[in-house]
Chain A
Amino acid sequence: MGVELTSNLDSGNKTGNNKTESKKILEMRGITKIFPGVIANDGVDLEVNVGEIHGLLGENGAGKTTLMSILYGLYRPDGGEIIFDREKVEFHSPGDAIRAGIGMVHQHFMLVSKMTALNNILLGYRTPKDPLMDYEWARKRIEKLSKTYGIEVDFDEQIINMSVGEQQRVEILKALFRDVKLLILDEPTSVLTPIETERLFKALRRMSEEGLTVIFITHKLREALEVTDRITVLRRGKNVGTLITKDTNERDLARLMVGREVEMIIEKKRKESKEGKAVLRIEAVHARNDRGLPALKGINLIVKQGEILGLAGVSGNGQKELEEVIVGTRKIEKGRLIFNGEDITDYGVARRVALGISCIPEDRIETGMAPSLTVEENLILRDYVKFTKNGFMDFEVIEKHAEKLIDEFGIRTPSPKVAARTLSGGNIQRLIIARELSRNPLLLVASQPTRGLDVAGIEYVRKRLISFAEEGKAVLLISEDLEEIMQLSDRIVVIYEGEIRGVFEREEADLEKIGILMSGGALEN
């Protein structure tokens, strides 16, 4: 086979000039997919040219992933046809799509975490010595690919020990290894740090130069504008327009995507007095992570009334453990937690909840909700005891409570009685926020509250956090999104390897300083 990825090398001709029929690599016509109760794709057309980076833009639930899963053979369409590489195709499984030359990097990585990078790349592949594993041959081939596209990974490392950025590179190599002509990337930047994102974009541009076609699924306007040649926008399962990237802008795209004008920047007004009462006082707290290694090494923090305290840091530096320590699901080894003047170090979760601690957890589906329970049941998870009558659940009251919150927080659901898992990501987040804020807590720990949300969802969550803090409550905002931290926080602290590396008032904080501290550097004084 060899490494013949440079076969269709006419990458100089990008969108705009010389568009001819033969240069289309993919045409999807009238694709329709119906899930029980939802039309995910409603007669979608999509055309992609050879060698371009094509953005597929849309809110969560707009049908981007469904459309690409159909192309990749994971879902069967209920209608429509696909023409790939000038041939009408029908993929019954991802295997078919791979053989035809289509690769996909999923949003949730499809890697076997207990295997090495090399074995993951080779998964299902027949090497020349098949059924033996010809590692030497594979290694050479991958090294060549790595060099061509500037994508490097440690072959012999297990996936479980890799950063998400590295895992993503394994995923991309996995596709490139199979000589794909078209590579689909589903929300590839949602888990990356800014530096890793830059690195990814560079690799994508290399691929495009080498004649590979890329479909880039995203809901981040800026990224779509930065890296693509053309953009197709989906809204509620329909194609609402394909645009040439250099002829469009953020505002137009947002309007097309959401269907109305959107506020692009939401900033919190500065808290008037800096002398708020401390709601939460974290004193020299030590804790270990799941693997038993020290994750928090003497954290000192104060969260005051009326403020949003932003905790900046690359994920995996103790944020998750800190969230759990405050909520009460992780043991504190040393140190104290003072909440509203009361030592809560040894309190259980229920007691902390009763005192007024709420939390939007990082992992919404795993720890934020019970996917199989209904929406109304999820809305009372924290306070279900209050919704009983003579020891039985009082479903009349529960339903009324749910209807009120669904209305107030704009949760899009067919009824309060459907399983919460059927909601889209953004609506799951609204559900959690509705539950946590409606309890009227004193402190809200919000961990990655807008991760994976679309423009409208982000706008909504940020407004809610701000208005909550302005009521005189306290928010601890844990986020990897530096822009978010900068826009919302009154004060910013940086965490690195379980230690607080810096504290800034917002006026004195700048991205560069925070960036240095986040990656373990020190500031010169």
Chain B
Amino acid sequence: MIEAEFLASLIAASMRAGTPLLFATLGEIVAERSGVLNLGLEGVMVSGAMTGFYVSLVTGNPWLGVLAGGIAGLLLALIHAFFTVTLKVDQAVTGLMLVLLGLGLTGFLGRDLVGQVATYIQPVNILFLSSLPYGNAIFNHDPVVYVGILLVPLLWFLMNKTRYGMELFAVGENPEAADTMGIPVDRVRFLAVLIGGFLAGIGGAHLSLAYAKVWTDGLTAGRGWICLALVIFSGWMPQRAIFGAYLFGGLDVLSFKLQAVGLGVSYHFMRMIPYIFTILVLLFSVIREREKFGAPSALGKPYIREQKF
């Protein structure tokens, strides 16, 4: 019975820990599908985390916090979109700048938030279901977790079944072809980057308001980078992202839980697990499906119309 209990709590914790990753990964999938790489995910997430925490602390309303987190992510993404889409600046450079900006700014502005207690997002019990076996693990979460889950089929549908999805795909694969068919390439990319930033910001806010429940400097601890790897892991498909995100959420939690069990291994080694796993997953996914694993062909390339090759 201890094992079942352990498993149930692990599932529950993976879902909670995986949700910030899920939001950011889904957002980045949208952005990258349009051909814009946002390496600044770490900075965007951490901005969402701090802003969300701050707004919830001041207003006492965690929902306003989540929304504010999304908006903070959106603003950072706006910078990215302006530089990379409008000005055609190198995406990697702008992205890295965003990481430094996000971490620096939140570290500075969030000094006084350290150690404070904000209003957190409370879990809701979904009737009946939580009384099923393992029901408590799956059906006793805060609403953001469920929004994340619902986002997966929604994005899948939009990307695979609608004109918007086709246009997004075309812009990221062959912007010239899209342009010649009258699709406004820059507008699509701009919007995709903003959506990506908004979702990553919400992911960040969930991290500070539901999972970690504190604000510390650099709260995201590399999660933005993990999400960039998760995008590759999921092959730019939303339906795969959820597995990746929950898996990594689980690993994150596992490293804590194993300490509690007491394996006599250093805490620092345990904390390395998700990152080592990231490397392994990337390695594995590249080896396994080199051909099928298609990144958007125009990923990272600015599109300028009147340019010869």
Chain A residues numbered 109-137 whose CB sits less than 8 Å from any CB in chain B: 109-115, 119-120, 122-127, 130-133
A75: CB under 8 A from chain B?
Answer: yes
Q: Are B161 and A133 in contact (CB under 8 A)?
A: yes
Chain A residues numbered 91-113 whose CB sits less than 8 Å from any CB in chain B: 93-96, 98-99, 104, 106, 109-113
Find chain B residues with CB under 8 A from A115 CB: 166, 169-170, 173
A147: CB under 8 A from chain B?
Answer: no
- Taking the closest CB of chain B, its distance from the CB of A27, in whole angstroms, is 23
Bound state CA distance, A187 and B66, in angstroms? 55
Instruction: Tally A-B pairs: CB < 8 A.
Output: 88
Which of B67-75, B81-89, B180-188 sits within the interface?
B180-188
B136: CB under 8 A from chain A?
Answer: no
A371: CB under 8 A from chain B?
Answer: yes
- Chain A at the B interface: mostly helix, strand, loop or mixed? loop
Q: Are B174 and A111 in contact (CB under 8 A)?
A: yes
Q: Are B162 and A98 in contact (CB under 8 A)?
A: no
Interface size on A, residues (CB 8 A): 36
Bound state CA distance, A365 and B308, in angstroms? 12
A54: CB under 8 A from chain B?
Answer: no
Bound state CA distance, A72 and B180, in angstroms? 9
Choose from B162, B177, B182, B306 the contact partner of A112 (Cβ within 8 Å): B177
Bound state CA distance, A106 and B181, in angstroms? 12
Q: Which of B161, B180, B181, B294 lies at the interface centre, i.e. has the most chain A CB atoms within 10 A of its CB?
A: B180
Choose from B174, B184, B308, B309 the contact partner of A113 (Cβ within 8 Å): B174
- Taking the closest CB of chain B, its distance from the CB of A39, in whole angstroms, is 15
Bound state CA distance, A398 and B44, in angstroms? 49
Find chain B residues with CB under 8 A from A93 CB: 179, 182, 184
Q: Are A111 and B180 in contact (CB under 8 A)?
A: no
Find chain A residues with CB under 8 A from B174 CB: 110-113
Q: Are A119 and B180 in contact (CB under 8 A)?
A: no
A291: CB under 8 A from chain B?
Answer: yes
A304: CB under 8 A from chain B?
Answer: no
Q: Which residue of B lies closest to A111 (CB)?
A: B177
Bound state CA distance, A205 and B266, in angstroms? 78
- Taking the closest CB of chain A, its distance from the CB of B299, in whole angstroms, is 13
A174: CB under 8 A from chain B?
Answer: yes
B32: CB under 8 A from chain A?
Answer: no
Choose from B162, B177, B297, B306 the contact partner of A110 (Cβ within 8 Å): B177
Q: Are B182 and A95 in contact (CB under 8 A)?
A: yes
Find chain A residues with CB under 8 A from B268 CB: none
Find chain B residues with CB under 8 A from A421 CB: 308-309
Q: Are A123 and B291 in contact (CB under 8 A)?
A: no
Choose from B161, B167, B294 the contact partner of A132 (Cβ within 8 Å): B161
Against A, the Cβ 8 Å flags (1 = close, 0 = not) of B277-305 are 00000000000000100100100000001
Bound state CA distance, A422 and B167, in angstroms? 31
Q: Are A123 and B181 in contact (CB under 8 A)?
A: yes
Find chain B residues with CB under 8 A from A124 CB: 163, 167, 170, 178, 181-183
Given contacts A75-B306, A115-B170, contact A133 B162 (CB under 8 A): yes
Q: Which residue of B lies closest to A119 (CB)?
A: B166
A380: CB under 8 A from chain B?
Answer: no
A74: CB under 8 A from chain B?
Answer: yes
B217: CB under 8 A from chain A?
Answer: no
The 10 closest A-B pairs by CB, nearest first: A95-B182, A110-B177, A124-B181, A131-B162, A110-B180, A112-B173, A123-B181, A124-B183, A131-B163, A94-B180
Q: Which residues of B contact A (CB under 8 A)?
A: 161-164, 166-167, 169-170, 173-174, 176-184, 291, 294, 297, 305-306, 308-309
25 chain-A/chain-B pairs, Cβ below 8 angstroms: A72-B180, A74-B180, A93-B182, A94-B181, A95-B183, A96-B182, A98-B181, A110-B174, A110-B180, A110-B181, A113-B174, A113-B297, A114-B173, A115-B169, A122-B163, A122-B166, A123-B183, A124-B167, A127-B163, A132-B162, A133-B161, A174-B181, A291-B291, A371-B309, A421-B309
Q: Which residues of A contact B (CB under 8 A)?
A: 72, 74-75, 93-96, 98-99, 104, 106, 109-115, 119-120, 122-127, 130-133, 174, 291, 365, 371, 421-422
